[in-house]
Structure 1
Amino acid sequence: MKVAFIGLGVMGYPMAGHLASAGHEVTVYNRTTVKAKQWCDQYKGQSATTPEQAVKGADIVFSCVGNDNDLRQVITGEEGAFKGMHSGAILVDHTTASAEVARELAIQAADLGFGFLDAPVSGGQAGAENGVLSIMIGGEQATYDIVAPVIDCYAKSAKLLGPAGSGQLAKMVNQICIAGLVQGLSEGVHFAKQAGLDAAAVFDVIQHGAAGSWQMVNRHQTMIDDQFDFGFAVDWMRKDLNITLDEARNNGAQLPVTALVDQFYAEVQKMGGNRWDTSSLVKRLEQ
């Protein structure tokens, strides 16, 4: 298919690459043109200087940018994607954003004759590079059915969870669960060290039992080794948690642990860890 991809960050760059490798005709847009040129050199695709130009003739438009405001700018802005999409085209937004902006874009897309899916992802940079992301999706079944075979290029798991906004709400559930897990893992690593145990040996055993998780399997050793210069940044996690806590205030959900961990991440930021991996929560316990 002829597709466009807007946003070539740590996630979007490899996701767009999987589309090109699968044989789709891909045109990309990125605010940093050097990154777009690099992608085109690597994957033999095309680039455009505006989102409006990038989406010309595309059957499906993918976006993966920073936040609600970034998303509105590239989609509904003066030279945004909605200015260039043709009737019947579909926008698939992979940005982790608010459910509010997802519903807003869904309404605008319908008015203009476009399809829309909010489809935030989980799996991190490694998941994007290896094409094994988990994708939580909100929108219409008929739209999802068209898009599903295409997003399979970089998805291990994808599921339609309800109307527009449902994907973003599900991503909030994902971040709630991660926040608590990482804090628990941080305390476990800290306790093992303080107790004089061989922490690596401990986690080599318990990761196969009831305490096991993706975070434990993939992060315990780097936490022990004090390595955090990779992965999902603290700044991004705080953005996601703030969206989640705002939504909880609207729907009445009680998230005491999530709110507490958000403040712990604020302490990590004060330590200069804005771009550290989220597993850096352990560092605040070792000060």
Structure 2
Amino acid sequence: MVATSFIGMGVMGFPMAGHLAAKGHDVTVYNRSAGKADAWVGKHGGRSASTPREAAHEADIVFVCVGNDDDVRSVIYGEDGAMAGMKAGAILVDHTTASAELARELETGLRDKGLRFLDAPVSGGQAGAENGVLTVMVGGEADTFEAARPVIEAYSRMIGLMGPAGSGQLTKMMNQICIAGLVQGLSEAVHFGQRAGLDISKVVEVISKGAAGSWQMENRHKTMDEGRYDFGFAVEWMRKDLGICLAEAKRNGASLPATALIDQFYAEVEAMGGKRWDTSSLLARLNR
């Protein structure tokens, strides 16, 4: 059993921390809205803390899964931040999808305090978190990775060390770039098929088994054809992620013309009232 703390009881953190408890780890949770932390304790046991510092106290591994760079800083730094409560040699694992610059900043700051760090964004969405089958992309030192890996396995099916601090975040950016392109292509194909009078399910049954197949096609074509988007990974979250990708591309000189265009398409979906719609709602923009 490993002493852990989990900061951030959102749609991802709540079930991820639950898997840690189910695997027998000692878990203390923290959330800015204390009611969510209390609800987690009511369901899974363990303890809740009133501050990140209190949550991190005596933990071997501190997990964080919050909204963005500023949210991460708000729970790590300061008198009541997790860093102030961590014991020497403890590991902070940041599952937030954030910038590579933040990851490098945290690695340096924690190392100077005798602490260890991994940036470890995840893919798989809420369903992946609930089912314990997330893909985890990790940046950091190999020995720190090997120490944390058996614990992270509680809610993952694939974990990869991608390189030094920041590499996990860079890998997640590639993941989101790929998804954006796939969803736009699928949206255009479904739109085309609808206009052509084809049975979308029959078409997908055939083409999904060939070179065009993807997770998005298999799992989203039906709801897209029905015009249902009130679930899944929200457009506003994807826009946050694509913003990180575009900022990093500006820094490293990469050219992302399709990603920039699709980000603007998502902005149009937001203007349609779809901020919380699933990312497959790019089709709704075409079907206006």
TM-score above 0.5: yes
Match of 1:101 in 2: 102
Alignment of 1:212 onto 2:213: yes
Distance 2:251 2:201 in 1: 42
Amino acid at match of 2:60: D
Partner secondary structure for residue 229 of structure 2: coil
Q: CA deviation at 1:200?
A: 1.4
Q: Over the residues paired in the alignment, what is the CA RMSD in angstroms?
A: 0.6
Distance 1:184 1:166 in 2: 27
Distance 2:95 2:274 in 1: 26
Map 1:22-171; keep pairs closer than 5 Å: 22-171=23-172
Q: Which runs of 5+ in 2 are unaligned?
A: none
Q: CA deviation at 1:204?
A: 1.7
Partner secondary structure for residue 3 of structure 1: strand
Match of 2:269 in 1: 268
Q: CA deviation at 1:207?
A: 1.2
Deviations 1:247-271 (A, max 9, x none): 0001110101000000000000000
Partner secondary structure for residue 108 of structure 1: helix
Q: Structure 2-normalised TM-score?
A: 0.99
Q: Structure 1-normalised TM-score?
A: 0.99
Distance 2:202 2:12 in 1: 33
Q: CA deviation at 1:77?
A: 2.9
Distance 2:76 2:34 in 1: 18
Q: CA deviation at 1:224?
A: 0.6
Identical-residue share of aligned pairs (%): 66
Distance 2:220 2:36 in 1: 29
Amino acid at match of 1:223: M
Alignment of 1:240 onto 2:241: yes
Partner secondary structure for residue 163 of structure 2: coil
Match of 2:17 in 1: 16
Amino acid at match of 1:101: L
Match of 1:250 in 2: 251
Amino acid at match of 2:112: D
Distance 2:134 2:143 in 1: 22
For this pair of structures, how many residues does the alignment match? 287
Match of 2:176 in 1: 175
Q: Which runs of 5+ in 1 are unaligned?
A: none
Moved over 2 A (4+): none
Amino acid at match of 1:269: E
Q: CA deviation at 1:201?
A: 1.2
Q: CA deviation at 1:209?
A: 1.2
